[in-house]
Amino acid sequence: MKKLLTLFLCAGLVSSIYAQNQEKYRLPGPDSGYVPSVSNLQAREKFQDMKFGIFVHWGLYSIMGQGEWVLHNRNINAQEYALLANCFNPIHFDAEEWVDIFKSSGARYMTVTTRHHDSFSLFDSKVTEYDVMEATPFKRDVMKELSEACAKKDFKLHFYYSHLDWTREDYPIGWTGRGTGRDGSKADWDSYYQFMNDQLTELLTNYGPVGSIWFDGYWDHADKPDFDWHLEEQYALVHRLQPACLIGNNHHVKPYAGEDFQMFERDLPGQNEAGLSANSVVSQLPLESCITLSVGSWGYNMTNAFHDRDYVIGQLVGAAGRNANLLLNVGPRADGSIPAEVVKVLGEVGRWLEIYGDSIFGTRGGFVAPHSWGVTTQKDHRLFVHLLKQEDDCLYLPVGDRKVKSVKVMADDAHVHFTKVGGGILIQVPEHEKTVDYILEVTFR
Catalog residues that contact ligand GLC under the rule CB under 6 A.
57, 68-69, 216, 250, 265, 290, 298
DSSP for residue 424: E
The continuous run of DSSP H or E covering 234 comes out as helix 231-241
DSSP for residue 172: P
Closer CB to ligand GLC, 220 or 441, in the complex? 220
- CB contact set of 4 (below 8 Å; sequence gap of 6+): none
Q: How far apart are CA 77 and CA 27, in angstroms?
A: 42
Closer CB to ligand GLC, 256 or 418, in the complex? 256
Question: How many other CB atoms are found less than 10 A from the CB of residue 355?
Answer: 11
- At 332 the three-state DSSP class reads coil
Of the candidates 157, 187, 195, 177, the one whose C-alpha atom is nearest the C-alpha of residue 56 is 157
Of the candidates 390, 389, 366, 392, the one whose C-alpha atom is nearest the C-alpha of residue 378 is 366
Q: Cβ of residue 440: shortest distance to ligand GLC, in angstroms?
A: 33
Of the candidates 99, 95, 106, the one whose C-alpha atom is nearest the C-alpha of residue 309 is 106
- CB contact set of 72 (below 8 Å; sequence gap of 6+): 117, 166, 176, 177, 179, 180
Q: Cβ of residue 164: shortest distance to ligand GLC, in angstroms?
A: 8
- CB contact set of 332 (below 8 Å; sequence gap of 6+): 56, 58, 62, 93, 98, 300, 338
Q: Cβ of residue 215: shortest distance to ligand GLC, in angstroms?
A: 10
Closer CB to ligand GLC, 132 or 263, in the complex? 263
Closer CB to ligand GLC, 124 or 265, in the complex? 265
Closer CB to ligand GLC, 57 or 108, in the complex? 57
Closer CB to ligand GLC, 138 or 214, in the complex? 214
Q: Cβ of residue 357: shortest distance to ligand GLC, in angstroms?
A: 25
Closer CB to ligand GLC, 112 or 313, in the complex? 112
Q: Cβ of residue 52: shortest distance to ligand GLC, in angstroms?
A: 16
Q: Amino acid letter at 395?
A: L
Q: Cβ of residue 168: shortest distance to ligand GLC, in angstroms?
A: 17
Residue nearest to ligand GLC (CB): 265
Crossing angle of helices 2-25 and 38-50, in 10° steps, is 70
Q: Cβ of residue 290: shortest distance to ligand GLC, in angstroms?
A: 5
Q: Cβ of residue 193: shortest distance to ligand GLC, in angstroms?
A: 20
Q: How far apart are CA 41 and CA 36, in angstroms?
A: 7
Reduced to 3 DSSP states, what percent helix, strand and coil does the chain have, rounded to the nearest 5? 30, 20, 45
Q: How far apart are CA 180 and CA 171, in angstroms?
A: 13
Crossing angle of helices 340-356 and 309-321, in 10° steps, is 50
Closer CB to ligand GLC, 85 or 290, in the complex? 290
Q: Cβ of residue 53: shortest distance to ligand GLC, in angstroms?
A: 13
